[in-house]
Amino acid sequence: MEQPNQNAVRAYELETWTRCSPSYNDTWATLTNETLPLLLRKTKVDANLKVLDIGCAAGNSTSKISASGAKVIGIDFSQKMIDQANASHPNLTFKQSDAENMPLEDNSMDVVIANFVVHHFAEPNTVFKEIHRVLKPNGKFAFAVWGANEEQSSLGAFFQAFAKHHELSALPHGPLFGVTDFDTYNDIATKASLKNFELEKLDTNWHMDSLDPLINGCWDWGNLHLFPESKQKDIKNDFITNCDAFKKGNGYSFPHSAILGYGEK
């Protein structure tokens, strides 16, 4: 697989998620919440532990970790995400930081959580080694990434609508985006000296009362606000039609899949 330019990945990811910061907790966070409780149970997070939340975005996940009583720090590479997190959760601790060079001492964290952020890293090998560095001996690490692209039904509905009206461009992305091969993750964990590493696939669903979180999230992520209004209208109409297949009761339920990984220092 051709490796993307690391600087291009960083620039693209930073610009994208900085743009998404105002709406993140009401859009993508409502999907990523589905896996977070599993990661916390697997790492046995409780009030006695120090926890690092990597890629904390606007602080939704950090707040949920804090509810366990744990002492948690959230980091994100986007200063605007950190500003949003501080505004939404003023009693929690957030730091602007790239995961490749975290401002934390060696052997300082009991648990590291990376919920739907590993596939955004430009240099995942470096990040996993940083995670090993900051974990205390026998400290635990857990992460979630997307499963196979064709198993992400909500995004599939969006891309199908988008492709009818605009060419799908090859955007820069992290080297693990869409990677579902367990051997790839096992290799990275081994190089980072993580032990007892295991992976599992999770089938989940994104439930919503209306399509607003999905539509608004896709519009921010794809920067569709720059498109002519007529094209936006056509894409949105087709998008809504594609979502009809996922109606459930008075709302919607979109099947998704994820890969969860767990390891220890």
Between CA 32 and CA 17 the distance in angstroms is 15
- SS3 (DSSP) at 231: helix
Q: Which fold has domain 6-153+172-207+254-264?
A: Rossmann fold (3.40.50)
Residue 170: predicted pLDDT? 56
Between CA 228 and CA 263 the distance in angstroms is 47
Nearest CA to 136 out of 5, 8, 264, 3 is that of: 264
Nearest CA to 129 out of 106, 163, 160, 158 is that of: 106
Instruction: Kindly give the confidence (pLDDT) of every residue in the chain, 265 residues in length, as a single tens digit, with 9 standing for 90 and above.
Output: 445 588 888 999 999 999 999 999 999 998 888 899 999 999 999 999 999 999 999 999 999 999 999 999 999 999 999 999 999 999 999 999 999 999 999 999 999 999 999 999 999 999 999 999 999 999 999 999 999 989 999 999 999 999 999 887 656 678 888 899 999 999 999 999 999 999 999 999 999 999 999 999 999 998 999 999 999 999 999 999 999 999 999 999 999 999 999 999 9
Between CA 174 and CA 172 the distance in angstroms is 7
Between CA 110 and CA 100 the distance in angstroms is 19
Q: What is the dihedral of CA 9, 15, 19, 25, to 10 degrees?
A: 40
23 secondary structure, DSSP code: T
DSSP, residue by residue, 59-102: SHHHHHHHTTT-EEEEEES-HHHHHHHHHH-TTSEEEE--TTS-
Which residues face 114 on adjacent strands? 143
What residues have CB less than 8 Å from 233, skipping those under 6 apart?
Answer: none
CA torsion through residues 159, 26, 51, 90, sign: positive
- SS3 (DSSP) at 9: helix
> Could you tell me the two tokens for 94?
């957030």
pTM: 0.93
Return the residue matching tokens 């367990």.
182
**Amino acid occupying residue 175:** P
DSSP, residue by residue, 140-163: EEEEEEE--GGG-HHHHHHHHHHH
Q: 22 vs 48, 53, 77, 79, 163, CA distance in Å?
A: 32, 19, 15, 12, 26
Residue 167: predicted pLDDT? 81
Sequence-ordered strand ranges (E) for the chain = 50-54, 71-76, 93-96, 109-115, 135-146, 195-208, 247-248, 251-264
The domain limits of the chain are 6-153+172-207+254-264
